[in-house]
Amino acid sequence: MDSILGRNRPRAARLDALFGLPNAALTLETTSGFRPVGSGAVCYRAAEGAAAAQTRADIIELLDADDDGPDLETVTDSFGFTWLITRQDDMSVLCTDLHAINTSLEEQGFGSGLLCSMVPFADAQGRHFGLVYLYKQGTFYPFAPKEPPTRDNLLELQVRDLLAGELPVEKDLTRWMALWGAPGL
């Protein structure tokens, strides 16, 4: 019936793709010297109300369960999106944290507000980019900001080519959103 009426159902997120990040990080480090900076973030449009506040509290409790666990920081950007930022030097643990945040938001009914997850990388020359996971597409793309509104397109394409065999890379370049002011970049 949806196809007759011209409606599309959103694709189910493929959050398990986040677990490909440790291998991708190793590839980036060995081939181009880029290393993860030790943080990651989930971006979503925050909802108001008791359920949203309880979900945020549950996520914070889940990730800050022990004294050695990551600190979770909440930042609202200039576009009104909320970023939940986790800090973790171990890339496998960082990916698990990002997966847990996304899954918790999705299970509590806030999946439609999820935009992306991002892990920043940097090299010894001071170049940096964020590896962005598009929640609704289930794909990754690199975002390498320079001075706004410019991007390092060459670096983005080089990273895309390096990771083509490691991660599901977004082929449609029009979906490569600029995340100006994203935490960690």
pLDDT of 21: 97
Please say whether the dihedral angle defined by the alpha carbons of residues 47, 119, 131 and 184, taken in this order, is positive or negative.
positive
**Max Cα-Cα span within the chain:** 55
- Do the domain assignments include residue 1? no
- For 53-70, the DSSP string reads HHHHHHHHHHHTSSTTSP
pLDDT digits (tens, 9 = 90+) for 114-156: 999 999 999 999 999 999 999 999 999 999 999 878 999 999 9
> d(Cα 139, Cα 126) in Å, to the nearest integer?
26
Confidence of residue 94 (pLDDT cuts 50, 70, 90): very high
Structure token pair of residue 44: 């979503």
- Do the domain assignments include residue 7? no
- Do the domain assignments include residue 82? yes
Q: How many domains does the chain have?
A: 1
- Do the domain assignments include residue 123? yes
The CATH number for 158's domain is 3.30.70
- Do the domain assignments include residue 184? no
Of the chain, the percentage scoring pLDDT greater than 70 comes to 88
Nearest of 152, 79, 97 to residue 121 by alpha carbon: 152
Domain that holds residue 92: 13-175
pLDDT of 39: 95
pLDDT of 78: 86
What is the average per-residue pLDDT within 86-90? 92
pLDDT of 69: 55
- Do the domain assignments include residue 114? yes
> d(Cα 121, Cα 128) in Å, to the nearest integer?
6
- Do the domain assignments include residue 185? no
pTM: 0.87
Taking 70 as the threshold, does the pLDDT of residue 158 lie above it? yes
pLDDT digits (tens, 9 = 90+) for 36-69: 999 999 999 877 767 777 777 777 777 776 556 5
Confidence of residue 177 (pLDDT cuts 50, 70, 90): very high
